[in-house]
Amino acid sequence: MQDQLHRMEAALVRVETMLHTLMNASTKKQRAAKQRRKQYSEAKQRRERGKVSLPTFHVLKVRDNRLTPRIQGWADAGMKFGAADNPEGFLAWFCYQWNNTCYLKKPITFSAGYYRVHTGDIRCKTGSFDLMGLNVKQKMVLRNDAELYDFCNRPWWTWAFKIFYPVWEEMQEMPGFAELGPRFLRGVRLILGGYDGHEVYTGLLWDANESRVNINKMFRRMGPALRLMWKACCSGLRMKSSPVVPA
């Protein structure tokens, strides 16, 4: 009888020890999970520090004055890309910065082969051709007035003026701008449409609102360069991490 009691007591001790071990393990897991949640929350707060909510208007058609404090920093980086004569790198970097670091949510997302643009209340699904005119499979030529109308009214021209042009204006006031290379200046000015006057032929300036005949004429000289700049913008919108600014 005494031996049986001892065995029962020993079994209870073992059970109690196992319960303590399980409880301690569970507590440790809970503490670790709580610590991870805290770290994730702090990391999210660090990422979102300085960001603003998406505006109530179309992000491509209206200038958001809340982003004005960022213009100087963007222009500083632009001068570094300019010194490296890398216009497509600058455009990809700028599109990433604008799309990923300004707002709590991306103004333009990408999924299932389409860009989804914040228009104020909803997101509008659009392709790269409707967004800016990029189609790598077709020759760059406007065949009729309907295509001219579409080309002139691509929302990316408005984005270039409302969002990008203030940065370009700031760069023009900075020391060293006059020494930037012609390739860099041409690439950026093509994206700006007619807002900064790139001369393609003598007396003929690049302008998305030019006549169909003149645009087609200019396409023959600078169409590949324009397509390259559009591709850089698309790349920047879809990047997961920021391109490196030249030293």
Q: What tens digit of pLDDT does each residue of 106-116 get?
A: 999 999 889 99
User: Does the pLDDT value for residue 24 go beyond 80?
Assistant: no
Single-letter code of the amino acid located at 50: G
Structurally, how many domains does the chain consist of?
Answer: 2
Q: Is the pLDDT of residue 32 over 90?
A: no
In the chain, % of residues over pLDDT 90: 70
User: Is residue 117 domain-shared with residue 154, that is, in the same domain?
Assistant: yes
Residue 18 lies in a domain: yes
In this prediction, residue 94 carries a pLDDT of 98
Residues 120 and 10 both lie in one domain: no
Q: Are 110 and 81 in a shared domain? A: yes
What integer is the mean pLDDT of 167-171? Answer: 97
- Among 85, 69, 47, 35, CA closest to 188: 85
pLDDT at 43: 52
| Residue 186 and residue 107 share a domain | yes
Look at 10-24, 95-109, 225-239 and tell me which has the smallest mean pLDDT.
10-24
71 within some domain: yes
| pTM exceeding the 0.85 threshold for the entire prediction | no
User: Which range marks the domain in which residue 71 is found?
Assistant: 65-238
In a domain, 35, yes or no: yes
What is the pLDDT, as a whole number, of residue 229?
96
Confirm whether 56 is domain-assigned: no
The alpha carbon dihedral of 65, 71, 73, 77 has a sign of positive
Per-residue pLDDT of 48-89, as tens digits, reads 567 999 999 999 999 999 999 999 999 999 999 999 999 999
* Average pLDDT value for residue range 152-173: 96
Q: Is the pLDDT of residue 99 over 70?
A: yes
Say if 150 falls within a structural domain.
Answer: yes
Check whether 130 has a pLDDT greater than 80: yes
Residues 33 and 88 occupy one common structural domain: no
Q: In terms of domains, do 91 and 13 share one? A: no
> Per residue, what are the HEC states of 211-239?
CHHHHHHHHHHHHHHHHHHHHHHHHHHHC
Residue 10 has pLDDT above 90, yes or no: no
Q: Is there a domain that residue 58 lies in? A: no
In a domain, 103, yes or no: yes
Q: What is the mean pLDDT of residues 147-171?
A: 95
Let me know whether 147 and 218 are in one domain: yes
77 and 153 within one domain: yes
**What is residue 41's predicted lDDT score, i.e. its pLDDT?**
61
Query: In terms of domains, do 174 and 198 share one?
Result: yes
Average pLDDT taken over every residue of the chain: 89
Task: Tell me, yes or no, whether 130 lies in a domain.
Answer: yes
Lowest mean pLDDT among 102-111, 168-177, 188-197, 212-221: 188-197
Same domain, 110 and 15: no
pLDDT for res 44: 57
- Please give the residue that has the higher pLDDT: either 11 or 213: 213
What distance in Å separates the CA atoms of residue 141 and residue 217, rounded to the nearest whole number? Answer: 9
Residues 15, 74 within the same domain: no
Residues 70 and 27 in one domain: no
| Of 21 and 185, the one with more pLDDT | 185
